[in-house]
Chains A and B, each alone.
Chain A
Amino acid sequence: MNTLVTQPKSQKKIDLQRFLEPYLYLSPALIIIALVIITPTLVGISYAFQSIELLNPFNGGWIGLTHFKTLFSDRYFFSALANTLDWTLISLFFQFSLGLGLALLLNRKFAGRKLVQALVFLPWAVPTFLSGLTWAWLFNPIIGILPHWMTSLGMLPEPYNILSDPHLAMYGPIVANVWFGIPFFAITLLAALQSVPSDLYEAAGIDGASSWQVFVKITLPFLAPMIAITVMLRTIWIANFADLIIVMTSGGPANSTQTLPSYIFTTAYRRLDFGYASAMAVMLLILLLLYTAILLKMRSKLSNGD
């Protein structure tokens, strides 16, 4: 009966084992993140202060703040900044409001809901490069139908590709982005909606609240925390998201759709000017951090005010 396989170890050794065990499980994740994300980020920050042009390898070395000086006189940088703002805010507004609408529609029993849900969320699963191509093709008057419809509706004088019109081009990627992003908001908001206790609705129904009152007084306050966090994260995500623009317009025509990330990508990928690209990336990072800080500050102020 009393056959003990393991010899009792000393308490110290056991404590050490206990201490190390979680780190052992974590280490692969931490190592790969440190090597592939953290290190390149730090290296990238250092690039911002160096001249690194692959096409011009002898023109290297530390150059201090030169890139940042260039940046402040680069008119494309500022137009890209303005475009980033447009791109982010317009996309976010439509993604969110249409996503909320969809979530509300789906938060109700009807025949075939599961199927509808699967189909209506499908755009989220479509690879971004494919979404971009698909929408680019839809806007192409030769094989796409959208220009013809828009002409019929009187939105365009004749069927032409809005992606080649500097005034309208930005709406192409935005439409694709909205199409792609609605499911994200719909899914998260639907999950939040389903966690609203049903007795709250029942109580409100007994108290004689109209459905609009129920929405404003019960549903929205309940969703508020979820909305706040998803909107914040999504803003950052959309601001960083360049795939659709690169696929659909490559920033053109005449830089009219160039956002900061797409400009950075083009600078690194086409011009192979890694130094300048990194300097802009550092600026982008600073701006996003500022945005987050301001938002968090506002939030803590709001919750302190309560």
Chain B
Amino acid sequence: MASIKLNNICKHFDQVEVLKSVNIDIQHGEFVVLVGPSGCGKSTLLRSIAGLEQITSGDIYIGDTRVNELAPKDRDISMVFQSYALYPHMSVERNMGFSLEVQKVPKAQIKKAVKEVAESLGLTELLDRKPKALSGGQRQRVAMGRAIVRDPKVFLFDEPLSNLDAQLRVHMRLEIKALHQRLQSTIIYVTHDQVEAMTLADRIVVLNGGIVQQVGPPLEIYDTPTNLFVAGFMGSPSMNFIKTTVAEAGGEFYLETQTGVKLALLHQYQDLAVGMRICCGIRPEHILILNSTSGHLQARVKAVEPTGISEQIYCSFEGADLCIYSMQRTDCKENQSVSLQLDLQRLHLFCADSGQRLQQWPSIAENVSLGQASASS
């Protein structure tokens, strides 16, 4: 096991810049998920770490070794491919032992290693089969087993669950998590599915357009997305955005929507100025549908999607869609007018021009406690 350090990784395909100065430090034993929409460069980054792609500039360290010039085989990594890449002409056993076979490890030792891993993954029964005779989930597990047998410094996963059906995906997600806890190995995992990212990662790296947007623990990214892209990408259903302008009354800033609806600001923000255009974000679970008309805004219901456990209500407000996530069943009907109450504590403010999050000043309560702390010291 080892740490990984990516310094200023850049990659061009002909004229196109796929990765733009990527910097990431990954700790020993950490589970890091690279997430982003398709074409964001996450797979290219992973393949560069594996040595399957040449980077244009920058340095890649695995442990203390700079591996830029090392062939994939010398980087001591394992990779699980989206297609699993099981060798069709070899049995499960040979597939799993292949890396050891190439290293000319004695046969008996290979057999022993494969047997151990197969037992831990419940593959013992399947060892004599060819990949063709396996189900999707079994193939996935063999691919993981093959990676484990090698006992590498780093595991790389390239969208390993995207070919499975939804139920199996949840199941394998749990297995991968358990695997990480058992092996305590360094894992880099690529996915476009933000639920996988949230559930698996110690830390998430959000990529878009070859640029790292945000790095942090899952909940930190969910709670304080650093820009409009991350805010919109992480979370399902995704965050709602309302176009507003900053106004002031009696020394207090507030937000005003296009039709003049006023939203009070409960926090102090840096760099706020009157007339500034703000994209105001609010997560679907932070909107309530009220029976009265006393909510912050009035909207018209466009569609209701019951999922059994919850309900998603889509409303139209100022020509844009608002999604409300409700754990209660609301009995809303299409075209009905509803009054919406926003949890103003949890507004996310983004500068409409730069897309960047407006940082809050530490709240007064925190200031006080800080002051006390410094006073007592």
Contacts and interface: CB of A to CB of B under 8 A. Distances in A.
Query: Per the CB under 8 Å rule, do A and B touch in the complex?
Result: yes
A5 B65 contact: no
B69 interface: yes
B74 A6 contact: yes
Contact of A2 (B54, B65, B66, B70): B65
Contacts, number: 22
A1 interface: yes
A81 to B, nearest CB: 49
Q: Is the interface of B mostly helix, strand, loop or mixed?
A: loop
Contacts of A10: 69
B63 A8 contact: no
Contact of B74 (A1, A5, A11): A5
B68 A4 contact: no
A1 B71 CA distance: 17
Contact of B69 (A1, A2, A5, A9): A9
Contacts of B153: 1
Given A1-B76, A1-B153, A2-B63, A11 B70 contact: no
A105 interface: no
A126 interface: no
Interface residues of B, number: 11
Nearest to A1: B153
A9 B71 CA distance: 10
Q: How large is the interface on A (under 10, 10 to 19, 20 to 34, 35 or more residues)?
A: 10 to 19
B48 to A, nearest CB: 15
Contacts of B63: 2
B209 to A, nearest CB: 27
A14 interface: yes
A17 to B, nearest CB: 10
Contacts of B54: 18
B51 to A, nearest CB: 11
Given A1-B153, A2-B63, A2-B65, A8 B70 contact: yes
Contacts of A6: 70-71, 74
B70 A4 contact: yes
B76 A8 contact: no
B59 to A, nearest CB: 12
Nearest to A4: B74
Q: Is the interface of A mostly helix, strand, loop or mixed?
A: loop
A277 to B, nearest CB: 48
Contacts of B68: 11
A10 to B, nearest CB: 7
Interface string B56-91: 000000010110111100101000000000000000
B71 to A, nearest CB: 7
A1 B66 CA distance: 15
Interface in A144-190: none
Interface string A113-134: 0000000000000000000000
A11 B69 contact: yes
B69 A4 contact: no
B65 A4 contact: yes
Nearest to B62: A2
A18 B71 CA distance: 11
A18 B65 CA distance: 22
A11 B54 CA distance: 11
Nearest to B153: A1
A6 B65 CA distance: 13
Most chain A CB atoms below 10 A, which of B54, B68, B69: B69
Contacts of A9: 69
A1 B77 CA distance: 11
Contacts of A14: 69
Interface string A10-36: 110010001000000000000000000
Nearest to A5: B74
Contacts of A8: 66, 69-70
B77 to A, nearest CB: 12
Contacts of A5: 74
A1 B1 CA distance: 9
A4 B72 CA distance: 12
Contacts of B65: 2, 4
Nearest to A12: B69
A16 to B, nearest CB: 12
Nearest to B70: A8
Nearest to A9: B69
A178 B363 CA distance: 91
Contacts of B74: 4-6
Nearest to A14: B69
A11 B70 CA distance: 10
Contacts of A18: 54
Interface in A86-123: none
A284 to B, nearest CB: 42
15 contacts: A1-B76, A2-B63, A4-B65, A4-B70, A4-B74, A4-B76, A6-B70, A6-B74, A8-B70, A9-B69, A10-B69, A11-B68, A11-B69, A14-B69, A18-B54
Q: What 9 A-B pairs are tightest by C-beta distance, nearest first? A: A8-B69, A6-B74, A14-B69, A4-B74, A9-B69, A11-B69, A8-B70, A2-B63, A5-B74
Interface of B: 54, 63, 65-66, 68-71, 74, 76, 153
Given A11-B68, A14-B69, 5 more contacts: A2-B63, A2-B76, A6-B70, A6-B74, A8-B70
Interface of A: 1-2, 4-6, 8-11, 14, 18
